[in-house]
Amino acid sequence: MARYADPGALEWVESGGGPLIAVPETVLPFWAGADSEELDTDYDRACEVDGYVGLLPVGDSAALVFGDEPASTSFLPDHATFVRWSAANSEAELLAGVPAALETAVWGSEVRWRVPGPVLLFDSAWPGQAAGRTEHLRVPLAAGTYMVQAAYVQPGPETWVGLVRLTRLAS
């Protein structure tokens, strides 16, 4: 995983150029990535997602696709938000702008994502069974339904950040 600061800083996941994806651990074997005999691979389906986020069926669940651009992405559990590094001079500068970005964000349309538990964030080109051997980030989500909203915010003159906020809905 990429690290942009001293040890103990956030771990960031990057892609080889395509979208990142968060797949529930329980259905990882059903994500084939770009490794498929089908004409339309899972990776191709992920690349077709229009906008900042979208959902794709995987097994008996769904994966969250991070569209728009292949920005380095991490998760801030205190804010229940995926942070996408679009532009900043340093990790510290980017993270310092997150609270203001969350307050001023103009959230796009929402999707509802039902997860059975923890998810793995990784490059959508990889098959799910290989995700543990590649650059990935495990996000320990509790089982349930989440409202997912995305925004692209400029919290500083040279700082741009993508935000994907998860709000757990009551059962």
Express each pLDDT in 114-149 by its tens digit: 999 999 999 999 999 888 788 899 999 999 999 999
User: What does residue 23 show for φ and ψ, rounded to 5 degrees?
Assistant: -115, 130
Mean pLDDT of the chain, nearest integer: 90
| 62 pLDDT more than 70 | yes
Considering Cα of 107, then 57, then 171, then 73, what sign does the dihedral take? negative
- pTM, rounded to two decimals: 0.91
pLDDT value of position 37: 74
- Give the per-residue pLDDT at 9: 72
Lowest mean pLDDT among 3-7, 38-42, 95-99, 122-126: 3-7
Residue indicated by tokens 């509790």: 142
- Is residue 2 predicted with pLDDT exceeding 60? no
Residue 80 predicted with pLDDT over 60:
yes
SS3 30: helix
Torsion angle of the four alpha carbons 35, 39, 44, 50, in this order, in degrees rounded to the nearest 10: -160
Q: Is the dihedral of CA 71, 77, 78, 79 positive or negative?
A: positive
Sheet hosting strand 136-139, strand order edge to edge: 53-58, 61-66, 20-24, 119-123, 136-139
DSSP helix/strand/coil, 85: strand
**Is the confidence at residue 24, as pLDDT, over 90?**
yes
Q: What pLDDT, on a 0 to 100 scale, did the predictor assign at position 115?
A: 97
| C-alpha triplet 44, 82, 41: angle, nearest 5° | 10
Are residues 66 and 56 in contact, defined by beta-carbon separation less than 8 angstroms? no
The arithmetic mean of pLDDT across residues 74-79, rounded, is: 96
Residue with the bigger pLDDT between 155 and 8: it is 155
Structure tokens at 169: 């809905």
